[in-house]
A and B are shown apart, each in its own frame.
Chain A
Amino acid sequence: AQSVAQPEDQVNVAEGNPLTVKCTYSVSGNPYLFWYVQYPNRGLQFLLKYITGDNLVKGSYGFEAEFNKSQTSFHLKKPSALVSDSALYFCAVRDQGKLIFGQGTELSVKP
């Protein structure tokens, strides 16, 4: 069965510093991977995806993610964090049309 894991419940970063939110996956076949963000009292917003092609994918709000097949990882990154990036981030994998989500990582960016 397809699955993703987010090993960190919480990530704390100072504003202006680079941020990384980790995700590892376990799939059979080629993975279709996604990152979503959830702000308080709001639905999920799509950030970016990896389907095929370039291992570095760029998404919304300056986020990017690197697909690493040998390490089975798909970490979310941003060169310079903003306080407004503070939110709950979910990694997901597509399996027969449905999304399977990781447990989520709470990102806190302090001024």
Chain B
Amino acid sequence: SAVISQKPSRDICQRGTSLTIQCQVDSQVTMMFWYRQQPGQSLTLIATANQGSEATYESGFVIDKFPISRPNLTFSTLTVSNLSPEDSSIYLCSVDSGVSSYEQYFGPGTRLTVT
């Protein structure tokens, strides 16, 4: 299974600022996914990031608020812009396990608190 790391593991940010979260995978993967888990809630997909193309955003999420980069097959960043307290969540990246396996493997998550 892929080993996924995220930086930072947690951060406290002020309202109006931005936070960029890094996701690193130990193997090359086609698609990377970014999820949000609000306090006490389930996971919601923000966007899917393919290398070399624009990310695909889910309904309710926009590129201006959550810009994503995917410069190569092992790395992606998610920026959460113009932070408000409602952005306080855990942000997780994930990757597909491989062709015909269908499950996804998740990073440890980044816990963001906005004050």
Contacts of B102 in A (CB 8 A): 32, 34, 49, 51, 94
Query: With A90-B42, A90-B43 given, is the CB distance from A97 to B48 under 8 Å?
Result: yes
Chain B residues 57 to 115 lying within 8 A of chain A, measured CB to CB, are 58, 92, 94, 96-97, 102-109, 111
Would A43 and B108 be within 8 Å (CB), given that A49-B102, A94-B102 are in contact?
A: yes
B96 CB contacts on chain A under 8 angstroms: 97
Interface residues on A, range: 20 to 34
**Is B108 a contact partner of A42 (Cβ separation < 8 A)?**
yes
Residue on A with the closest CB to B111? A41
Whole-angstrom distance between the alpha carbons of A107 and B109 in the complex?
Answer: 21
- In the complex, whether A99 has a CB less than 8 A from a CB of chain B is yes
Q: Point out the residue from B58, B92, B111 that lies within 8 Å of A44, measured CB to CB.
A: B92
Q: Distance (Å) between the CB of A58 and the closest chain B CB?
A: 14
A43 and B42 in contact, given A49-B102, A94-B102 (Cβ under 8 angstroms): no
Cα A101 to Cα B4 with chains together (Å):
20
Assess whether A103 is interfacial by the CB under 8 Å rule: yes
1/0 per residue, CB under 8 A from B, across A69-111: the answer is 0000000000000000000001000100111111110000000
- Counting CB contacts under 8 A, is B41 at the interface? yes
Residues A103 and B107 in contact, CB atoms below 8 Å apart: no
Question: Contacts of B104 on A, CB cut-off 8 Å?
Answer: 46, 99
10 cross-chain pairs, A with B, having the tightest CB-CB distances, nearest first: A44-B106, A43-B108, A43-B106, A101-B42, A101-B43, A103-B42, A43-B109, A46-B103, A98-B45, A104-B42
Instruction: Return 26 A-B CB contacts under 8 Å, by A number.
Output: A34-B102, A34-B103, A42-B108, A42-B109, A43-B107, A43-B109, A44-B92, A44-B94, A46-B1, A46-B97, A46-B104, A90-B42, A90-B43, A94-B102, A97-B31, A98-B33, A98-B58, A99-B33, A99-B45, A99-B94, A100-B45, A101-B43, A101-B44, A102-B42, A103-B41, A104-B41
Other CB < 8 Å A-B pairs besides A90-B42, A99-B43, A104-B41, 4 of them? A43-B107, A94-B102, A98-B45, A99-B104
